[in-house]
Structure 1
Amino acid sequence: MAPGESLTFGRDGGRGLVIPHAGVSRNAGRITASGSFWTLANHTRDRTYVVENPEGAGEHMKVTPGRVDAPVPFEFARVVLPAGDELVTFEVWAPRHDYLPTAPSGDDGSLTTPAFPLDRGSRYFLVLAALCEPRLRGEPYAPLPTTEKLLERLRPVWPEAGRASVQWNIDYLAVKLRLKPGPEEAAEGRARLNGKKEMLVALALRFDLVHEDDLELLNGTGRAPGRVLA
């Protein structure tokens, strides 16, 4: 669809998308294309729609009953409609997102400090990728891997890894990403961090610190690690 064009969907569909399910409203909603996003209208009065980002490890948004033209930021999305005792889905490929051009090379201004400086050639990044893998694989509610599972997954690229070294890297990540106080702050009596792994994965996926392509590193097929940590 060109920007400004709309497509209705529902059990009847009209000239739009027909969803032949008795649990779907005759006129269930409308999709409208925009310049670099799309909107979703929910024409029902009693059910909430969910729009999922299949590439976002659980990222989603809700469109409440009667909501008109809710902006959806996902380029590739799955619309989930509650229909009777099951869920009906269809997928939307939205307009390509627009981005600012790369800063000119002649810019002599000071560089902005990276928000989360991570070395993708380090062992701590391998540990972070292994922690995030189940949810990056499209299982947003998957339990995080145990230490034994982490060791098994890391073996192809880090054969000598042990429980202590993996835990050390997890602790290091928690400090590096400011989830846990460093040694000096800990000495001042800061509380011990609980749920470290869950918080690390939530932060990494929320800010796209680890991508699905990074999982190739765990198979030894991605970019070989450079400087590593113990």
Structure 2
Amino acid sequence: MYSIIVVPPPTTEAEPARTRRQLAPGERLTFGRSERDNDLIVPHDGVSRRAGAISAQGAFWTLSNLCAHQTYVVENPEGAGEHIKVGPGRLDAPVPFEFSRIVLPAAGDLLAIDVWAPRHDYLRTEGGLDGDTTAPAFSVDRSKRYFAVLAALCEPRLRGAPHAPLPTVDQVVDRLRPNWPAASRTSVQWNIDYLAVKLRLKPGPESAEPGARLNGKKESLVSLALRFDLVREDDLTVLTAAAPRRTR
């Protein structure tokens, strides 16, 4: 099972679509300016020829900074400024965020490589049956913002209107803003795209076509969530409850 999804920065303004890379546990992806030495090319004069490496380690990943003089920052887009620094030459620094953004300083520019870690592993209950446990069909974390986005999409139909039209992205933003002041169209669409990958509604990056229709994606997400009770009426409290206090 793939555990890490890497979304590289666009190479040019004329090529905004970004081909995602999937890594299974134990796989490694190198990135940098050199086409000969890397799996992922970042064609910018301010990026080192061999800039770094991402390694999938089950439910998390590590970052190696192969640059001799530049510190990289890994941000948690959900963490209100939460981040870690990976200094020059640091190898296999563990990254604890489910959503991450590697920020590469590049001659006055800041290039972002998004990394998603959608796989969740859970403690096996003692005293259970021997043998392999059954893998969960869908794995969602109700404390994450992507779940609040999914709940907002499902809310009209959970409120007793099974054929209600889905809320627009702007309506979702307005619904989430009391507990998420920084919510925007971009962040909501990013979470919808993430959910489509996480819940396996979207083909893998090797076969996915760029520019999937957002409306069809939302309808598929809501249909799946309601059919399998990923979101119940009780879960709508995430839209009204006080924003959780984030800890490091």
What TM-score do you get using the length of structure 1 for normalisation?
0.48
What TM-score do you get using the length of structure 2 for normalisation?
0.45
Q: Which has the larger radius of gyration?
A: 1
